Structure 1
Amino acid sequence: MTSLNRFIKICIAIILVFIIIYLGSLVDFVFKPFLSLFSIIMVPLMLATFFYYLLRPLVNKMVRPKLNRTMVILIIYLIFAILLGVFIIGVFPSLRTQFFNLVDNGPNLLNALSKQLQDLEQTGFLSKILPDDVSPLTQLNEYLNKGFSLLTNYLAGMFSFFSNFAVILLTFPILLFYMLKEGDKFGQKIVSFMPMRFREEGKEVVHDIDHAISGFIVGRVVVNLALGVLMYIGFLVIGLPYALLLTAVAVIMNFIPFIGAILSAIPIVIIGLIESPSVAIWSLVVILVAQQVQDNIISPYIFGKQLDIHPLTTIILVLVGSDVFGIIGVIVIIPVYMIVKIVVVKMYQLFFKQKWEDA
């Protein structure tokens, strides 16, 4: 009888939740201003969270009795301003030149790519690896049309992004400053809302979440930078054009789990193919070798067992995040999964493990 009453209560609670969701959908105009505000501050908040976990260890190490936290943060801001100036003066001109050269040479590059495919088709190389009813030139035209359509939509989206860039530029440093100054108190405030008997477990959960996200972000940055160095050296050795630009794109894209590595490899191989088939093959070899070094040597050393997520789980999470929330969902889905997993495991240990083992 007790089990039946508990089941009925759970069913009633679920029904009430769905009723609340339905009633909320009827008055969605009430929530639109809040959703609009959240969409505006979401990108600055994500950037602030990313740099908070990246810079927090440095801030903690620099704090001294005569050097308080505020002064340390301001010193780090000054150092970053100097590094940003060095980047703008030393590295950005090369990236900018390569980018505009790539854009200006776009038609010539497409013609060269078509010629390379024609040559490969005449030699019979493509007929060996493609079905008989597949024409690479026809496929190329279809992909190019899709590419130009995506590029148009992307450029239209860029105007929207830059319209909000001022908001990001103003709010991101302020959010980051207060997060670095008061960040350690956030967890304590969350735990303070819990009942007294669960506060110790709450502290453990908050600590585990904080440790997992910190390890994931710092580890991902280190791993991607190491991957970028390996790829850039390899591209220089094989003589790949636009090596710096393609490496920068690859490093940024690799922050997207699983599919980022695939998407970043496509333009690299295409540029290599335009140069020559041998350069395309060697560029693919460089990518595969760098990825293997990252996956089998660098990542296990950096992450250890912190990122205990099966590759199939990662693929499913990325697909779901992309379908529901777009590019933002792809980026944040892994940290969100880690948080949910920690909370669910702790709740299972607290409320269900003992009962199920005794049953």
Structure 2
Amino acid sequence: MNKFYKVCIGVILVLIIIYLGSLVDFIFKPILSLFSLLIIVPVLLAGFFYYLIRPLVNYLEKLKLRRTIAILLLYVVFAIMIVGFIWGVWPSLSKQVEALERNAPALFNSLANQLEKLESYPLLASIFPEDTNTLTQITEYLNKGFALLSNYITGLFSFFSNFAIILFTFPIFLYYMLKEGGKFGKKIVSFMPKRFREEGLETMNDIDKALSNFIVGKVLVNLALGVLMYIGFIFIGLPYALLLTVIAVIMNFIPFVGAILSSVPIVIVGLVESPSVAIWSLVIILVAQQIQDNLIAPYIFGKQLEIHPLTTIVLVFAGGDLFGIVGILVIIPVYMVIKIIVTRVYARFFKDKWEAA
């Protein structure tokens, strides 16, 4: 009984500490923001690029090149690629951004005119009730979406205002990850009891392989999707094709939801041009997505990414609700890691007992 009381007192003290901490959260928020800016975001970026660059580093190391020299050589190559992007692609992309921002009011007016024309079609008029003003409702939704987009862009500019700090710390983390990355798993396993170390090392290898396949595969799949969509948009003469493709590729890193969200601006811009362009834009998106899901993704991922679509939706919404955009982006890899650990623990400690029972 004394032990029970001690546990209860300990829980109560922890809850009191949490409550008192919530009363002075203004002290901890700047510290957490600084920690996120200096540590969390650079480490996540470094981890992402670590899995992309590591195969190249390993390949150069097999060619008898020292690992440090291989990393620095790849840094130089990527710096040249960034300069090439800024020199060759960015001017065209920035012009489309400026043109879209400048023409936004005209685009909304053109969209309203197109919607008015569509409302006059007998087929659509029979679908929508007569006592509802569909144009007004759609315009309200678009205004709300435009307001959310403006807030998002404002937050994005706020992020890039701190980008100098991230740009300074991120390459340092990435360098040490690439140089010492193979030792992380062994160091973590070294804290485990000896009888579990071999199995622990196998678990770390499974996690490493799963994250590597997921990140590299996701990048390749999204790039292939971008190429397919861009070719289709150029073919039908969709305005701002490059900008909309870049947005679609970035948004597709958000599981399931990103594909839907990225389709909205594409269809709207197509509808401003003409209803036929909007329809063909939607057809291109659907065809590209089907090619991605049924041909490219199975070839790249195989059967390693077996996550039910409903599970993906729940995870995305939970991650966004808890941790915002960062949570949405990392929730699937985190789920994969937890799933591997839980599967291993179940097989090691519970499977035989429960199945026998």
Q: TM-score range by the shorter chain?
A: over 0.9
1:4 aligns with: none
Determine if the alignment matches structure 1 residue 38 to structure 2 residue 32: no
Q: How many residues align?
A: 352
Alignment of 1:1-359 (within 5 A): 20=14, 23-27=17-21, 35-40=32-37, 41-64=39-62, 66-359=64-357
TM score, norm. by length of structure 2: 0.92
* Contact residue 319 and residue 331 of structure 2 kept, 8 A: yes
Q: Relative to structure 1, is the Cα distance of residues 18 and 59 closer, same or farther in structure 2, using a 3 angstrom cutoff?
A: farther
- Deviation of 1:17 (Å): 6.3
- Deviation of 1:97 (Å): 0.8
Q: Relative to structure 1, is the Cα distance of residues 138 and 205 closer, same or farther in structure 2, using a 3 angstrom cutoff?
A: same
1:305 partner SS: coil
Alignment-mate amino acid for residue 323 of structure 1: D
- RMSD over aligned CA atoms reads 2.3
* Contact residue 270 and residue 277 of structure 2 kept, 8 A: yes
| Separation (CA, whole Å) in 2 of partners of 1:15 and 1:340 | 31
1:63 partner SS: helix
Q: Relative to structure 1, is the Cα distance of residues 110 and 133 closer, same or farther in structure 2, using a 3 angstrom cutoff?
A: same
Q: Deviations over 1:94-152 (max 9, x none)?
A: 11111111111111111110110111112234324434444232113312331343244
Unaligned 5+ segments in structure 2 are: none
| Separation (CA, whole Å) in 2 of partners of 1:173 and 1:109 | 41
| Separation (CA, whole Å) in 1 of partners of 2:299 and 2:8 | 44
- Deviation of 1:237 (Å): 1.1
| Separation (CA, whole Å) in 1 of partners of 2:12 and 2:63 | 54
Farther off after superposition, 232-241 or 261-270: 232-241
- Deviation of 1:355 (Å): 1.2
Q: Relative to structure 1, is the Cα distance of residues 22 and 310 closer, same or farther in structure 2, using a 3 angstrom cutoff?
A: farther
Alignment-mate amino acid for residue 291 of structure 1: Q
| Separation (CA, whole Å) in 2 of partners of 1:25 and 1:213 | 37
Q: Deviations over 1:240-277 (max 9, x none)?
A: 11111111100000000000000000000000000000
TM score, norm. by length of structure 1: 0.92
Q: Relative to structure 1, is the Cα distance of residues 24 and 237 closer, same or farther in structure 2, using a 3 angstrom cutoff?
A: same
1:184 partner SS: helix
- Deviation of 1:36 (Å): 3.2
2:120 partner SS: helix
1:5 aligns with: none
Q: Relative to structure 1, is the Cα distance of residues 132 and 341 closer, same or farther in structure 2, using a 3 angstrom cutoff?
A: farther
Alignment-mate amino acid for residue 173 of structure 2: L
